Amino acid sequence: MSASHSLYISKSTFLMGLQCAKLIWFRYNAKDQIPAPIEATQAIFDQGTEVGELARQLFPGGTKVAPGIFAPDQVIAQTRQAIRERRPLYEAAFVFNGGYARTDIMVPVSGDAWDLVEVKSTTSLKEEVHLPDIAFQAYVLSGAGIKLRKCFLAHINNEFVRRGAIDPQRFFTLEDVTRPVSVLSREVEEQLGAMQRVIGAKTHPEIQIGPHCDNPYTCPLHDHCWSFLPEASVFTLYRGGKKSFKLLKQGVKHLENIPADFALTDNQAIQRAALLAGKPHVDRPALAAFLSQIEYPASFMDFETIGTAIPLFDDTSPFQQIPFQFSLHILRAADGEIEHCSFLAEGTADPRPEFLRQLRDMLPATGSVVAYNASFEIGRLNECCELLPEFKPWLKKVTPRIVDLLLPFRGFRYYHPQQHGSASMKAVLPAMTGQGYEDLAIQEGGAASREFLRVTFGNVDDEERRCVRQQLNEYCGLDTMGMVQIIRELAKL
């Protein structure tokens, strides 16, 4: 391999190469064809950066090597200077045998040795991802002449609860991974050599699609490699799993071409039959029984939540889902007028007390409370009441009234071919009513969470904040209005 830094294999591209040889070929030979990270992925990267900065407080008084510089040769040169000072190093860089490792934290220990600390914004060790990552770094550092004593993974303590300022010693768990890393690092030289041969080839290797496309991460080339499949492919089969790959191996791409003697579950058989018939499957007695549970006034309820790695508020844990918004559409009678009320937290204080107060005051005291995938809303309400026990008696009365609108769709009491095997609201609403989310600025819950965080805790002007808050109200409002429309469509059936 050339010494040119453009051909260094970094730890992120090494992990790409372990997942798929075709991906690493594109990374070096056709990088422009790899899509930029989607917003959700970028948000995970940004969160990881915040966690990484907090982890440095575990080993204070250190030096951040070459801040703002990404050219490997410059970072390596500055690392050589910094390493002589024998202080903790953040983002030091080393190169060996074409591998380029920029480390999260290095800590000097006795005997001129160092400990390597890799920081991850997860709440546990994920062996299939984290160990090869650290093993690659250990291989490069050892080859570059660094004497390593131990290797650690610093991950988030899943039992951490914030009370006041974040204490890094309580927030992180340090896990010694020296032994498994030393075993895996012996394989790195051969793996690097194989990747270098792939990168140097004139064309990319032909790799069939498979479970590796989504494991351990969804590959950025996923849409590119899967584009040969039809819209109603065997991979839209409800809970298809290995069955979908088995069908593809037999040459079956389209759902409607699944052989009649191929073993399908009842729900999968309904899905296939609805596609062949070109019309929805409708279990009228089951739908009538479901609708008969709904008592009026019926309240259609939906929450939006935020869940950050570093908790924003006291009495919250990492990634705990904190509700910041709700929408309620209320039907006093089945054919009555629709009333709408909502809440969207203002300011940077913990939204939960006001969220619960407003919900209690706006929710009718009687009648059904309809939610889609109701276990999510029930879970958030129970968590909020642990913090605010004065609301427990109210919740005790509300919980038995909750009806889950997901159930008839998850049970395939109704199934429309346009759902493509999904029972989610985003699939059901447009299939049943023709109305979807594509005209909205915010189209899914993850985007709602990111935008709320951005305009509430970020540096944006008042006009942009007002505009985004309006978009949040439109999105959450469609979730509950959509439930009203779905109920009315079911009633027609």
DSSP 237-274: STT-THHHHHHHHTT--BGGGS-TTS---HHHHHHHHH
* CATH topology assigned to domain 286-492: Nucleotidyltransferase; domain 5 (3.30.420)
Residue 233 is classified by DSSP as B
Q: Which amino acid is at 220?
A: P
Q: What is the mean pLDDT of each run of 10 residues along the chain (493 residues)?
A: 59 95 95 84 81 96 91 94 96 96 97 96 94 98 97 97 96 98 97 96 94 92 94 95 94 94 95 96 96 96 96 96 97 90 96 97 97 97 96 97 97 97 96 92 92 94 95 94 95 89
Nearest to 115 by CA among 77, 88, 83, 91: 88
Q: Is the bond into 297 cis (omega within 30 degrees of 0)?
A: yes
φ, ψ at 39 (rounded to 5°): -55, -40
Tokens of 239: 């809970």
In this structure, the number of other CB atoms found within 10 A of the CB of residue 190 comes to 9
Residue 322 is classified by DSSP as E
Nearest to 309 by CA among 45, 51, 15: 51
Bridge partner list, 342: 327
What is the rounded radius of gyration, in angstroms, for the C-alpha atoms of the chain?
27
Nearest to 206 by CA among 13, 25, 31: 25
Bridge partner list, 102: 93
According to DSSP, the β-strands at 148-156 and 113-119 are: parallel
Q: Which amino acid is at 443?
A: Q
The CATH class of the 5-200 domain is alpha beta
Nearest to 132 by CA among 89, 91, 84, 183: 183
**CB-count exposure of residue 271 (10 Å: 0-12, 13-18, 19+):** buried
According to the model, what pLDDT value does residue 45 have? 75
In sequence order, the 6+-apart residues with CB closer than 8 A to the CB of 394 are: 360
Bridge partner list, 152: 117, 176
Query: Do 5-200 and 286-492 show the same overall fold?
Result: no
Bridge partner list, 113: 109
Using CA atoms, how far residue 22 sits from 197, 204, 225, 229, 378, in Å, is 12, 6, 10, 19, 44
According to DSSP, the β-strands at 369-371 and 298-306 are: parallel
DSSP alpha helices (H): ranges in 120-167? 127-143
In sequence order, the 6+-apart residues with CB closer than 8 A to the CB of 389 are: none
According to the model, what pLDDT value does residue 284 have? 96
Identify whether the C-beta of residue 372 lies closer than 8 Å to the C-beta of residue 490: no
d(CA 58, CA 53): 10
d(CA 389, CA 392): 5
Residue 35 is classified by DSSP as P
Tokens of 304: 């939006």
Identify whether the C-beta of residue 482 lies closer than 8 Å to the C-beta of residue 490: no
d(CA 473, CA 344): 8
Map tokens 């009648």 to a residue.
367
Sign of the torsion angle spanned by Cα atoms 108, 112, 118, 123:
negative
Tokens of 483: 């439930």
Using CA atoms, how far residue 371 sits from 327, 377, 414, 481, in Å, is 11, 7, 17, 11
Domain definitions of the chain by residue range: 5-200, 211-278, 286-492
According to the model, what pLDDT value does residue 6 have? 52
According to the model, what pLDDT value does residue 275 have? 96
Q: Which amino acid is at 311?
A: P
Q: Concatenated DSSP letters for 439-451? A: TSS--SHHHHHHH
According to the model, what pLDDT value does residue 4 have? 39
Q: Which amino acid is at 478?
A: L
d(CA 184, CA 171): 28
Nearest to 73 by CA among 94, 49, 104: 94
